[in-house]
Structure 1
Amino acid sequence: MYIQTILGPISPESLGVCACHEHLSIDLSRIKGDLDTALQDVSLVTEDLRSFKEYGGKSIIEVTNYGMGRDVSALLHISKSLNLHIVASTGCYKDPFIPEDKFHFTRDDFYKWMVDEITNGLDGTNVLPGVIGEIGSSYNTFEPIETELFYGAIEAAKETKLPLSTHTTLGTMAIEQINLFVKEGLSLDQVIIGHQDLNPNDAIVLDVLSSGAFVALDTIGKENYRKDADRLTSLLAFLEHGYEDQLLLSSDLTRNSHMRVNGGQGYDVVLRSFVPTLRHFGVTEEQIQKLLVTNPQKAFSIRKEVNSYAI
């Protein structure tokens, strides 16, 4: 098993403290009509990430895919500047963010294109993705193009063994995503269901966890969506039910205003703020190690061998 970073494969044990769902170069302004959602200032992002590093952060799963403003050169610069492991993504996001050249793709088109990126590299480079994601469904539904996208992503994941990380709009459609993966025979130990800290129904999240999939509580600090105190209450419940081996943490920053210099929470919010609160509420160091280190190692490992690691 190995984890594919943008600088080459590493052993899972080399991943370290990992943010499971972030964006270091993203532009959603074409659809959102808001330049705040064009987070593409490499210097700004690099400086903000320094605090993440200072708090012990070592790795980022970067889930900006095709059509979201993915910038391989920016990721390479950040990785080398900060000695930070970055895992890049293949795939498309969700309707209406899927770009025009892919909007009429069938599931087979998506499958072949993703496998090509996984095999040959991203955007004309030799940089290989290490995750299929974030693959998204809409609010309480799969739009037709999203259905094709999911089927294509499933086949690509089955063939290449890459982990598959999903987007659930405001936490919805998590069970439906799981049911689709089960129906299509995708191993749930290579699936990360995203944004479940935005799902206020703990019973649904517990059902997702009972399936064996990983669950990302990955919008920590976005209190305009849900208060972190409520996220904490849910997380404590999931731990109480014994699911400490399947939970992942991150903050999903997507805006210039999310940078700390601009008054935002910053990439360090989980390590700086949320984790100390977990300790205060009795979460053990062993459990925190699982949330930040051990679980990402398992979730983002590619379950096949390579000849050597570039560690």
Structure 2
Amino acid sequence: MPGAAGTIRTVSGPLCPSAVRGPVLAHEHLALDLRRPGRPAAFLDGRHEVAIVAELATLREQFGLSLVVEQTCRGMGRDVAALARVSAASGVAVVAGTGWYCAPFHPPDVRRADVGRLVEILTRDVVDGIGPARIRPGLIGEAGSHGDRPGAPERRTLTAAARTAVRTGLPVATHTRLGRGGLAQLALLTAQGLAPHRIAIGHQDLLDDPAVHRRIAAEGAYVSFDTVGKTAYQDDAARLRLLLALLDAGHADRILLSCDISRHTYLAGQGGQSYGYLFRTFLPRVRAAGVSGDVVDLMTRRNPLRFLAGPGLPGGQASATRSR
């Protein structure tokens, strides 16, 4: 079954984790369409492909960027053919996703389907591949909910995500609205038999609640600080404070970092923070706060590789959270 532990499924085929020597962006978008009234810029399409390729290629040259986990799933304007083109042109490996986002973006057929049917749909994506090129996803995500607890349609799509993950061996990455509802997601997913270490709870850098972060990590799931640079939602000083609190609590091995570029105005050429904000702006602040290079590598490379490929990879621990 695709998704067996030890390999990562990319848009160009299986990838051995040991071949990934540079950092990973654990939650990004390279092609999507989330346009709704009041959100006219919430898309990335062929008009932006050249700029996206240029950004990723530059990050590969300057920072060794090796892998992007692209979490555009069903109902979000997914375009796996575009992901394959971007990966080939930039030289950066890309993981594609499947699953369903939060309820406002569920396609009509999802609202009518039971969990069994939803599992069939996702399993077909994983086993047979997506689109004419039969590109296989490497994770289920970003599987979403919209409030403190998933609504009825979201409970069905999240349940289907968990059951498909158990069946296929893929991990599940979630979307939470402003970081809320992560514990409820974790409880629902694990109730289906999905191990916590196969789950990443999304957008936790938007939730100013260190106790929730500690609990997610203590239960064995990954805590995604994946909207780095989106200062309209959260100041980076708060992000850094929350990150350091989680590190000081001993959970360096449960942190994922990324920028969640989800509209064309975030691209560098349009004056946005770009995919490189994590490397150029945020990580220097993390290092200045006393976080060692080993921990930075853990958060940006070894953790996402273990999340994608499964447990058993070497280097899952860091010797210290911060320099003393």
Task: Name the TM-score, length of structure 1 as normaliser.
Answer: 0.94
**1:256, distance to aligned residue in structure 2 (A):** 1.0
3-state DSSP of counterpart to 1:158:
helix
Q: In the alignment, is residue 90 of structure 1 matched against residue 95 of structure 2?
A: no
- Structure 1 window deviating more from structure 2 (82-91 vs 176-185): it is 176-185
2:228 corresponds to which of 220, 223, 227:
220
- For residues 245 and 141 of structure 1, the distance between their equivalents in structure 2, rounded to whole angstroms, comes to 27
Give the AA of the match of 2:282.
F
Say if 2:149 and 2:185, in contact at 8 Å, map to a contact too. Answer: no
**1:8, distance to aligned residue in structure 2 (A):** 0.6
**1:182, distance to aligned residue in structure 2 (A):** 2.7
CA-based RMSD: 1.4
2:11 corresponds to which of 6, 9, 18:
6
Q: Percent identity, aligned pairs only?
A: 33
Say if 1:27 and 1:37, in contact at 8 Å, map to a contact too. Answer: yes
Q: In the alignment, is residue 132 of structure 1 matched against residue 140 of structure 2?
A: yes
2:286 aligns to what?
278
3-state DSSP of counterpart to 1:111:
helix
- Structure 1 window deviating more from structure 2 (224-233 vs 179-188): it is 179-188
- For residues 112 and 302 of structure 1, the distance between their equivalents in structure 2, rounded to whole angstroms, comes to 23
Say if 1:193 and 1:214, in contact at 8 Å, map to a contact too. Answer: yes
1:37 corresponds to which of 31, 37, 42:
42
1:176 aligns to what?
184
Q: Which structure would you say has the larger RCO, counting Cα contacts within 8 Å and 6 or more residues apart?
A: 1
Say if 1:51 and 1:267, in contact at 8 Å, map to a contact too. Answer: no
Render the CA deviation track for 1:231-282: whole Å, top value 9, x for unaligned: 0001001010110111010000111110011110000000111111111110
3-state DSSP of counterpart to 1:300:
helix
**1:173, distance to aligned residue in structure 2 (A):** 0.7
**1:48, distance to aligned residue in structure 2 (A):** 2.5
Relative to structure 1, is the Cα distance of residues 112 and 197 closer, same or farther in structure 2, using a 3 angstrom cutoff? same
1:25 corresponds to which of 25, 31, 41:
31
- For residues 190 and 88 of structure 2, the distance between their equivalents in structure 1, rounded to whole angstroms, comes to 39
- For residues 61 and 297 of structure 1, the distance between their equivalents in structure 2, rounded to whole angstroms, comes to 10
Give the AA of the match of 2:19.
S
Mapping of 1:1-311 within 5 angstroms? 1-15=6-20, 16-29=22-35, 31-40=36-45, 41-53=48-60, 54-302=62-310
**1:177, distance to aligned residue in structure 2 (A):** 1.1
- For residues 278 and 33 of structure 1, the distance between their equivalents in structure 2, rounded to whole angstroms, comes to 34
Unaligned ranges ≥5, structure 2: 1-5, 313-324
1:308 aligns to what?
none
Give the AA of the match of 2:29.
H
Render the CA deviation track for 1:217-244: whole Å, top value 9, x for unaligned: 0000000000011000010010101101
3-state DSSP of counterpart to 1:169:
coil
Say if 1:130 and 1:300, in contact at 8 Å, map to a contact too. Answer: yes
- For residues 223 and 51 of structure 1, the distance between their equivalents in structure 2, rounded to whole angstroms, comes to 23
Say if 1:135 and 1:150, in contact at 8 Å, map to a contact too. Answer: yes
3-state DSSP of counterpart to 1:103:
helix
Report the number of matched residues: 303
Say if 2:54 and 2:90, in contact at 8 Å, map to a contact too. Answer: no
- For residues 82 and 187 of structure 2, the distance between their equivalents in structure 1, rounded to whole angstroms, comes to 36
Say if 1:13 and 1:297, in contact at 8 Å, map to a contact too. Answer: no
